[in-house]
Structure 1
Amino acid sequence: MDEPHGPDERLDMLVHRGDLDGLVRMIDDRCSSRDWAGLLRLRDRARQAVDTGRQLWPAATLAEYRLALLATPEFVAEVLDEADGLSGRFTIGPLTEVAAQRHSWGDLGPLLERGPRAAFVAHERVIRGEPVDDLDLPDVLDIPLLLHSWEPTYELAVYGDNDAEFPMPELPDDWSDVEVTADAEVLDDDVELAVRQLLEPWTTSSNGRAEVVCVDGDAGAAIGALGVRRARMAELSAQEAIAWIAWAGASGGAHGRRRGAASGRFGAWWLLAAFGDLLDDWPPDPDELGELADDLRWYRWNAYEPDVGWTLQLAIEDPEEGVAWAITAQDTH
């Protein structure tokens, strides 16, 4: 097998011609033959072609995506190089998440520089159930490299050779009418900012919108404060609600950049801490956060409209404090 930066006349010819179709066929061939050195060489030369005015970024992006998904660990480490600020910029999901789908931390960890990308891979592997005990990783998220008993089974992306699926958690649909009121006192807190950070790709890089309100009252009062006059709710467990929040935080919505399951889990922890007014003590005590999640009452709601596109419509009650929140966020093609 040729070295990654050795001669490759056929590749050079396709790059010289700017032949994207030919390069895609070559990517497929090199994946089939497991020629990872040749695929890395294709990625590098397609990327370098921009210096001569050839726009071959789609080929470079596909090549590094396939390397992260399919290649042996040493080549996965090449595309996760901390010094390479370009890799993964245009892939359909973060390469740290793509790589974590099929590669264990035990295989990848020893090959990765102890930087942010390695830390994200570790968090992705933890979400997939692999124990990670590495004290040298930076605290990129400030949440434990350990799943706690109160956390859900997080929904994971499913990456294929040319596409990906980002399934939404299954949620109960035993709907009940809710009494909606419109005269509750609206309160200020940190939850609005936490929701906007959670859903930033939906609202800044796509067509989405998000609203959140906190009121002195119950879930019906919070929903009414959003301007809704008729609604229904279905009760959720804390784990179901957290899984839904994490799915939303991992997603890029219809057109935004996906952030990955690790970021979604962080977003769920951050929002949960905001409900409990625990952000000033970040990172929170996991046991305290779990107790808070169980003490809150969680509901999905809608105004009898069908769910389309990307949706997060939650109502949350804090019985001890007598306050409630309603969140509505939607993004469509």
Structure 2
Amino acid sequence: MITYEDRSLNALAEAGHWPELLGIYRQVRAAASARAGEAGAAAESAPLGHLIAHGAPPEVAVRLFDEDGGPGTAAGVGDHDSGPLWEVLATRHSWLRLAPLLGPAPVRRLVAHTRVLVGEDLSYGAEPDPDGVPLVLEPWEVAGWGDSGRVRDYLRAGGSRSCLLALPATREGLGPVDLPVRRERVAGQRATKEFAALADWAQVACVRGTAADAAAQYAPARRVTGGYVPFAAAYPVLVQAGAGVRAHGVARGRLVVWRALVAMTGAARPDRAEVNALVARLRCFTWCDPADELRYLHVALEDPATGLSWAVSGDDVE
């Protein structure tokens, strides 16, 4: 297995021999694919793929995803080391540099949304998103991140720095709240399915009632430490939950959250005005659980216009 400790590979990178490294990557991935299948190929070639995606000129780096090298040689959307290779690439170059070079549609879409999360406005400089998700951040998407980066900060030698997934992140502004008794859940809501797609550890329930009614589905007791927060404070953690595993990136998290919000409006495709109106009226309740460790999410989203609320709760123990 190739690692960053392979001095010859690092020497080639230091010397700027990126086409040669791409050729080695393709050989390694193809051999591993024939021997161990796609999952094995992705795992074995990922460290070298990360090195190329991070350091190579875009003209070379984008070819990680091209199939012109033959069967088993191309990285897919699931190839990852400390994060998906397409996200590493997207953090290194602007859309202006990448757009003329990127081929595969799934990778192209995820790279575009990553650049949007970095802060680029692609609403006039890229093909429309196939599902209608806007290619520019709404003000409420920007507001809650504070000084933390929206996309992982990848290191050349592997590894990354990212936001800590925690809601509530602090007990400041929260206090003792007595929750109501649990209500019967509302089945068959499309938004429930969309929120559940965020993470396999996330529990999701829909009730007819308030955010506190929804929170009662998963809160550890009737009396909790909790309180209301703006949706802008919950949004980054929802996105991070969707990007929780290394094979995923924040672009996936953003797409999942947008699909859930659109489902809450009842529309088939995103309507920016309707989603913005929904976000403006949402009432969001968060609460603490004594079992919380490092990565957790507890939020209930209430839409007063429909009388429905959704609770999204869980603890990522990985």
When normalised by structure 1's length, the TM-score is 0.78
Higher relative contact order (CA 8 A, sep 6+): 2
2:25 alignment counterpart:
43
Deviation at 1:190?
A: 2.5
2:263 alignment counterpart:
274
Quick one: which amino acid aligns to residue 162 of structure 2? F
Deviation at 1:187?
A: 2.1
1:265 partnered with 2:254: yes
Q: State percent identity of aligned pairs.
A: 28
* Structure 2, unaligned runs of 5 or more: none
1:213 alignment counterpart:
205
Partners of 1:221 and 1:98 in 2: CA distance: 41
1:198 partnered with 2:194: no
1:166 partnered with 2:158: no
For residues 1-333 of structure 1, the aligned pairs below 5 Å read 20=2, 24-50=6-32, 60-81=45-66, 86-88=74-76, 89-92=78-81, 93-113=83-103, 115-132=105-122, 133-134=124-125, 136=127, 139-152=129-142, 155-160=150-155, 161-168=157-164, 171=169, 173=171, 174-188=173-187, 189-199=189-199, 203=200, 208=201, 210-226=202-218, 228-229=220-221, 230-252=223-245, 257-276=246-265, 278=266, 281-303=267-289, 305=290, 307-333=292-318
In the alignment of these two chains, the number of paired residues is 298
Change (3 A) 1:31 1:59: farther
Quick one: which amino acid aligns to residue 241 of structure 1? A
Change (3 A) 1:250 1:22: closer
Contact 1:247 1:264 in 2 (8 A): yes
Change (3 A) 1:25 1:112: same
Partners of 1:245 and 1:38 in 2: CA distance: 40
Quick one: which amino acid aligns to residue 272 of structure 2? P
Partners of 1:266 and 1:81 in 2: CA distance: 24
Cα deviation 1:118-159 (Å, max 9, x = unaligned) = 22212211211123234546x444312122223236621121
Deviation at 1:232?
A: 1.9
Quick one: which amino acid aligns to residue 112 of structure 2? A
Q: Name the SS for the 2:284 alignment partner.
A: strand
Root mean square deviation of aligned Cα? 2.9
Q: Name the SS for the 2:158 alignment partner.
A: coil
* Structure 1, unaligned runs of 5 or more: 1-18
Deviation at 1:68?
A: 0.9
Quick one: which amino acid aligns to residue 158 of structure 2? N
Q: Name the SS for the 1:110 alignment partner.
A: coil
Change (3 A) 1:220 1:136: closer
Partners of 1:300 and 1:233 in 2: CA distance: 6
Partners of 1:52 and 1:258 in 2: CA distance: 22
